[in-house]
Every structure is written in C-alpha cells, then in structure tokens.
Amino acid sequence: MLRTLLSVLLLGMVPPPFSGSPLASVVPLLEVAPPAIQMELASRLSASGVIVLDAQSGQRVFGRQYDIPRPMASLTKLMTALIIVENHQLSEIVRVPIGIDPMQSSVRLPGGEQFTVGDLLSAMMIASANDAAATLALFHSGSVDTFVEEMNARAATLGLHATTFENPVGLDDPLQRSTPQDLAWLTMAALRQPAIARRLGMRGAIIVSLQGSTVNLFHTHALMHTVQKKEDDLAPVVLAGKTGTTNGAGQCLMSVVGENDRRYIVVLLDSLQRYRDMNLILAALTHETIPSESLSLRTLNEENLRP
C-alpha cells in the first residue's frame, strides 16, 4: 500500500464557509489510490465529471473535469433541503397544493392534505420526490421564482461560484448547472444539518399525512440497499447519498463513503453507468486492483429505482 501526500493542499479547493475550519498545522498523510490505479480509474469511469473529496480536510483525492459546470438533475435538492432546514422547524405543518404533481419522479403526495416539514424533507431526500421539493419551495417562498432567487443567493454565500439554479427540483434548464466540486462542497454544508444527514442515510421510511394518508419511501441510491459491512471490515461502504437523472444531465450520483474512520464525498455527473463507476471508485479507495468483470454483485438493478 502506497502513501501519497496530495500535491495540491486545499489551494482554492475549500470555499469561504469552510476555509476557517481548524486544520492540523501539518496536513495529515492521506491514504489514496496509488498513481497507477488512479490512471486506470480515470480511463474506465463513464462519468464525464467526477470528484472524490476527503470530507474531513476538504482535500481532493481524485478528480476529472471537476470544475466544469454541467446539468445536475436532482442533486439540486441538496440546496432545496438546506434552505428549508435553515429556515423552518421540522414540526411545521405544510399543505400540499392541489395539482402539485405535473412532473415525473414524485411520490404522489395527496393534494390538499397536510404533512410536516420533516416528512416532506424525507420524501425529497430519500425518494427524490419532485412534488415534495416543489411543495416545500412554495411553502417557504410563495413562488418558485422567489425560492430560486434564494437558492442562488445561498450558493453565493457558500462560495459555489460555478453553480446556478432555475428550479428547486432539478429539471433541465440551460441555467441549472453546477460542478462536481461545487456539489461536493454543497454536500459538506448539507451534512452539517443533522436533519438532512440522517435522511440521506435512510434506506426508506413511511410518512403519514394529518388526514391519515400513508406514503412509502424507498431510497433511490442503489448502493444504500447492499449488504452493510461487518464491524471489523475496513472496506469502504456507501453510508448516504443522493441520485439524479434527466435527459440533459445523464445519470448523476452523490455518495458519502465511509472507510474505517475516514469519510469521502463522491460526486458523479453525466455518467452512463453510475453504480459501476461508484464501485470502481470504492475499489480504488481500498487500493485494490480495479476489477475487469461486471460489478453486479454490489449493485441492484437500477431500473428498479427512481432517479
């Protein structure tokens, strides 16, 4: 196993909100994939935009076109969730507007019924529900346009200068764009909110309206449903995540990976096979030879999951 000190330490890779975080006077040596594996990994990933970020230090462990803006699909909902959690109590009551579900990727929230903010946040983070995202945006701002203005303002304060929003859901729009790097930083900010972090790591949930309607939620990240590692197993495992898919964005994926006592944030944009890509990255993080065969043993059939 080779130990490599990253040649670029932070150097503009941590935006203003994180730049004041206490770091050791000597940057710790990171366990990263040997150069040969990194080169092989880069040649085999289908995603055009990739970043692997050390969540503790903010250092980039691996990247490919990580600073080029692209459509981000439902990874957008990380910002929607952040604004909601920063401004509302989870116990607040929200009425689902009639006709809120003209879009794909919904959990069919019953119009006119009431849910808590926490329940709608669960629907948005676990099941990537567009109707939940739109409902929360309207509840917070009264209009989608006003909510989008707040999204862009919050992106600016987080230092996400390559990120712009046009809707709270992630639907394709020429101005709905971000970079893997910005989305990794956004994930770091979102994970500081326990309400978001917990939901990103839940495999499923059941929410119930005040009127008694039940909605089942199933996490859209396939690797969240694989067998979890044993207590003495040091292999990396996906602890939390968020998916996104549109025609313009392709397959997008955010994963929080745990390896022993380290945490990594992985963002894939415009992938053709996001779970195969993710498994290649997991293999590289363990310094193993990247497998050449199908990686289906660690994945589920993606067609069974929503974006």
- What pLDDT is recorded for position 135? 96
- What pLDDT is recorded for position 228? 60
φ and ψ of 254, to 5 deg: -115, 130
- Going by C-beta distance under 8 Å and a sequence separation of 6 or more, which residues neighbour residue 233? none
Neighbouring C-beta atoms of residue 47, cutoff 10 Å: 28
d(CA 141, CA 135): 10
Residues of the chain with pLDDT under 50: 1-34, 36, 231, 292-306
Fold of 73-218: Beta-lactamase (3.40.710)
Q: Are strands 214-218 and 60-64 parallel, antiparallel or unpaired?
A: unpaired
* 3-class DSSP assignment, residue 207: strand
Terminal Cα distance for the chain, rounded? 36
The model's pTM is 0.83
d(CA 56, CA 260): 13
- What pLDDT is recorded for position 12? 34
Burial of 123 (0-12, 13-18, 19+ CB in 10 A): buried
- What pLDDT is recorded for position 38? 64
- Angle among Cα 233, 192, 270 to the nearest 5 degrees reads 75
- What pLDDT is recorded for position 83? 98
Q: Is there a contact between 118 and 91 (Cβ–Cβ < 8 Å)?
A: yes
